[in-house]
Structure 1
Amino acid sequence: MADPIEDETFEDDDWYGEEIVDRAYARCRFLRVDLSEAFSRNATFTDCTFGNVRFNASRHVDSAFLRCTFNRCNLFEAEFTGCKLTGGTFTDCDLRPLRVTGGDWSFVSLVRADLRGVTIREARMREVDLSQANCAEATLSGVDLSGATLDGAVLTGCDLRGSDLTALDPTTTAVRGARIDADQAVVIAQAIGFTIG
């Protein structure tokens, strides 16, 4: 990987369809950049800020966005495969219909995020903050949600099968119609005080 580009500001740039491969950025600011249909592989963004950036239909494979801030970004039909977004913060972003496969989204803040219908599979999301997030009809299957903050989250109709739900309190989370498996049902029952058997 090349030496990182550091402390630069990219403003009103057109990166439509750009291939970002084996590149690194640190403490950079991306403002109103068009990354629609861009593709990244083995790219690293560390402590970067993305403001009003269009990620529409972009694809990211084995890339890292570490401790990055996303404000008013559009991720319509964006895909992240095997990516690391630890410590990131999403504020007022359009995240539908986001697709995530694998990777590590631990310690990410998605407070009040609109995640209706998104698909997240086999990802690590330890201690993610989903407070008041709307995950109705989403797929969060095989996801490690241990230590997650779920207060006020809407999980109605959500597919949660195979996910770690040890942090789920059904008395503070809307769960009507959510799909879980038998083992998860036991974990939740015990968490709210039932004795099994």
Structure 2
Amino acid sequence: MISATLLYFWMVMFATNSGLASTIIEENVDQPKNNALRTNHGVVVDVVGYLDMPTLNHTYLVGDYSTQPRPVQYEIVMDKMNWYDAVSYCKARKMDLATVRSEVENQLMIQLMDQSGIPRVEHTGGVWLGGSNLESDHGFYWITDGLSFSDSYTNWSSGNPDNWKGIQHCVRYWFENNAWQWDDFECMKIVRDVDSPFACEYQR
């Protein structure tokens, strides 16, 4: 049995007067704290940890906010996979490949990518999201519930989705013009290596 000390990242999100999210990071190289409620200047925040570490080569960052209409927790997994494998990985752990439904959630995801060490390098990819047009004649949708992108928040980069060479059917973050936005990309390797980190989500 492998004995090792794991570094756990605890990320707490709470609403501010601006409507965006603030972040508290705590590191614990011993044991994770139990879930508990705290207050921060009168604001109740939820301390959360994901404890099921199946292997030691995964890095998890947990984001949570419970004051928004759609309370979700995100986890970024740094092991790189294609989109299909990322979907399967999240599902096997009773989660879904992440959706981003608002600018608040978009900023949360960007903070998590920054905290996980995903570099902000022009024309490089970030995490896979749970968006696809694989089973639709009407554009992109979220695979968690089938909600069409046309009825939801979007953050496409300029000129996207463009379905390059007719093979781009899945969504991931893309860093361009000094900003993280969305790009349609090959779901698995056809022309290019597409393996990327990814974000899972589950609702509280």
> TM-score under structure 2 normalisation?
0.27
Greater share of helix = 2
* Structure with the largest fraction of strand: 2
State the TM-score, normalizing by the size of structure 1.
0.28
